[in-house]
Every structure is written in C-alpha cells, then in structure tokens.
Structure 1
Amino acid sequence: MNTMPFTETSLVRDIVNELPKSSDLFKSYRIDFCCGGNRPVAEAAAERNVNMETLMAELAEVYKNSVNEPIDLEVWTNTDSQTLINHVIDKYHRPLEEELSMLSPYVTKVARVHGDSHPELIRMHDLFYELKKELLEHTAKEEATVFPMLLKLAEAEGAEREEMMKEIQELEKEHDHAGAILKELRDITSDFVPPIDACGTYRLVYKRLEMLEGETFMHVHLENNILFPRYL
C-alpha cells in the first residue's frame, strides 16, 4: 500500500513538484500553486476557506491514482486480447483523454505569457495541440472500429483479413507520427528542462509533458509490440 508522503505542513509548491496532477485540484479550489506556492497547504487552504480534511482526502485520491503499479509486461504478453484491450482502454485511453483536456489551459497560458521571451513555447503550444488532436482521433477510431474488428479477426479470412491488416498498419503509422511529435517536443524543450527563470506553471507544463510522453510510449508499446503482432 502506498502512503501519501504529504501532510498539512507540506508546501504547496513541493506537493505540485512531486505530484504534478495535484495542480488541477489546487486550481479547482483557487489555491495559488505558482507564485504563492511557498507556504504550507493548511495556510493556503485556510485563506480560501477550504475544508482541510476534504482537501487532504482528495489529494490522497490524486496520489493513489498517480502512483503507477509496476508494469509486468510478461503478464500482458500472456493474457487474452479482450483483457489486454480493456486494460489499454481503462489505463491509457481514459486517462489520456483526461490529461489532454486538463493540460490544455496550462499549455495555452504558458505560451501566451512567456512566448515573446521564449519563442520555443509557441512551437510547443502548436505541437501539443497537434498531438492532442491526433491522439484523440486515434483512440476514438481504435475503440469504435479497430478493436472490435481485432476481436473478430480469429474467424476472419480473405478480404476481411486484408482490410484488418491495413487498419493495423495505419494505426502503427499514426503511432510513429505521435512519436515524432513527442521527439520534437523533447528537443525544443531541452529534454523538458525549463530555464532558470521559469515560473511554477511553466515548470508544471514541462513536467506533465514528460509524464505524457512516458505514458504514451507504454501505451504504444502494448499495442505495437504485444497486441498487433498477434494478428499480423
């Protein structure tokens, strides 16, 4: 069992640094984690009349959902396709949709506020929104058509099987393109290392982009290297 490492005396900024997705929770309560983050969470909550017990319970929930269980790839290699597909949808598609939605306003704000002095942020903004559009279309297509086709493929033959092969190859090309966007994001952000003068939101965006990269790579690995080869 993972015990949350934060208490009421933890500094808001330290919590966000360790647990980037906590920024969404603080934002919902209008607790400033950026410029006003250098103080205990209890003090920040009291100023906004936020119930501390509720806040800590919600923070514990965010922590629990953010702690990745060790990934035993052998388990997924040996499991049936329906179970693997359900895992991809529940653990990667749904969290991906949520993260792309929650991260968008931060990306927009950082590019707008700091883009003049850091032009790479304008490119970061454009790449992020290109990636968002592609991934959302990609996951929707997988769930609506490709995954159901895969599960029927055991009995498929002839033209139907050829059509499925084309669909899988198309998905793999889309994975490659998402990977190329992530590579460019990593390049232009200097490996997601913010400049010395970066504010809290700026740092948060880089940290969450790096987390998004890691989750996307594992998501693609499960499909490209474990699921799809069963049918090719």
Structure 2
Amino acid sequence: MTFPFTSTTLVKDIVNKLPKASDVFKKNRIDFCCGGNIPLSKAVSQNGLNMDNLLEELKIVFEKYEHVEKDVEVWTESDSNTIIDHIISNYHRTSKEELTMLSPYVTKVSRVHGDNHLELLKVYELFYELKKELIEHMEKEEAIVFPLIRKFTDGTIENKEEAINLVTELEKEHDHAGEILRQIRSVTSDFTLPLDACGTYRLVYARLEALESLTFMHVHLENNILFPRYIA
C-alpha cells in the first residue's frame, strides 16, 4: 500500500488512520489531540521540525504497522454508543484510578525533594489542578453529555443546541487539560530525571508520562472521532 500522508494531511487524520503515529508526534512534541485539526506542514513549522525527517519517521511506522489489525483506540467506523462505552471503561475508569493512586507519590516526592528540585513544587501544583479538572470533566461527561449524545444518536433528543454547546464546552476543557500536561512536560524537561532521583521520584515521572499518553488518546477519541459527528 502506498504511503498515504503528505504535508497537507491533517495531524488528527494521520492518527485516525495510523494510531502508532501518535508515538512519533509525541516524541516531536506535536499535539495530535487538542491541536490535531491542522495540516502536518503547520505542525512542523510551529515546532521547528524538518518535514522530510518527520515524513520518514511516519513512513517507517506505516510500513511496520500497515498490515497489523487496527489499534483498539481507533474507532472511526464504530457507532457512538460503542465509543462512549469504550471511553468510560478504558479511559474514565483507568484515569480516575491512576489519579487517585498517583496522588500520594506526587505529594511525597514534592515534600521530600522539593527544596533541592523546585520544579517538583510546580509539578505538585499542576498535577492537582489536572486531577481536579479531569475528574470533574469525566463526571460531567458521564452524567450529562454522554446521555445527551446517546439521545442525539437515537433521535430522541429534545434540545440539540444544548448538546452541541456542551460538547463545545468539553473541547475547551480538553484544551486546558492539554495545556496543563504541556506545562508538566516542560517543567520536568520532558520527564528528565536528575542524578539523585530516588525510586519514588522515578515512579512519579514514569507514571505522569503514562498518564499524559492515556489522556491524549482519551481526548483524541472524543475531539477527533466522537464529537465531530455532532458539531460539524
């Protein structure tokens, strides 16, 4: 199969067709979830990258995975109810659990090492801001927005404008969560560990980076696959 992407392909469309491209974008600090609705050329320009090099990276991934069954995170052909159930089961539940479990470790590391590594104090602040925002966001989705989308899908919705406004509001919340994650990555210098990092320090950075990936795929599913069906 011919390599299908060019400089004019939208970033979100590349991830929709080739899920593993998200790893390439993450490495190159290209936002594919909240900021994915731009052509690859613009993402390259914004991040000071080389287009030929990036296309070569994507081509390597494409050639490796083009014959592999599509990643479970990509649901472009699934109905909305199936996507919603998948998001709740595989992203909401997992995110809530991880945010809860990671909290004491973030607190401990900032308390023990914050005097010598001031960035950890900022990480603490940003993490708890992210935790509050994501939990409130997911609760809103499950209690209000997802039920409206289900009604939208089966044709029983009474106020379409209300649903569209709520979906638009969720996208703005995604943008803010993405900005918090970008700040965490920036203040930690891409999760670079200092020489004196203890086991808990290492654990926190590893799990923060994993949480970032989880959140990005969560947002990608909603922003680039589910929501456009209702706010196009």
Spell out the pairing of 1:6-155 with structure 2 (5 A cutoff): 71-74=71-74, 76-154=75-153, 155=155
Partner of 1:197: 196
State whether residues 73 and 217 of structure 2, in contact with CA within 8 Å, keep that contact through their aligned partners in structure 1. no
Deviation at 1:71, TM superposition (A): 2.2
CA RMSD of aligned residues (A): 1.6
| Structure 1 ranges of 4+ moved more than 6 A | none
Q: Select the structure with the greater relative contact order (CA < 8 A; seq sep ≥ 6).
A: 2
How many pairs are equivalent?
162
Deviation at 1:156, TM superposition (A): 5.8
Partner of 2:60: none
* Greater Rg over alpha carbons, structure: 1
Structure 2 alignment gaps of length 5 or more: 1-68
TM-score, reference length from structure 1: 0.67
Mapped partners of 2:164, 2:88: distance in 1: 21
Deviation at 1:231, TM superposition (A): 0.8
Partner of 2:166: 167
Tell me: CA distance 1:127–1:89, structure 2 relative to 1, closer, same or farther (3 Å).
same
1:164-193 deviation per Cα after TM superposition (whole angstroms, max 9, x unaligned)? 111011000000000000000000001011
Mapped partners of 2:128, 2:193: distance in 1: 20
Partner of 1:35: none
Structure 1 alignment gaps of length 5 or more: 1-68
Amino acid aligned to 1:81: S
Partner of 2:218: 219
TM-score, reference length from structure 2: 0.67
Partner of 2:39: none
- Percent identity of equivalent pairs: 63
Amino acid aligned to 1:137: E
Amino acid aligned to 1:173: K
State whether residues 109 and 120 of structure 2, in contact with CA within 8 Å, keep that contact through their aligned partners in structure 1. yes
Partner of 1:229: 228
Mapped partners of 2:172, 2:108: distance in 1: 31
1:50-78 deviation per Cα after TM superposition (whole angstroms, max 9, x unaligned)? xxxxxxxxxxxxxxxxxxx972455x111
Amino acid aligned to 1:134: E
Tell me: CA distance 1:109–1:70, structure 2 relative to 1, closer, same or farther (3 Å).
farther
Amino acid aligned to 2:179: A
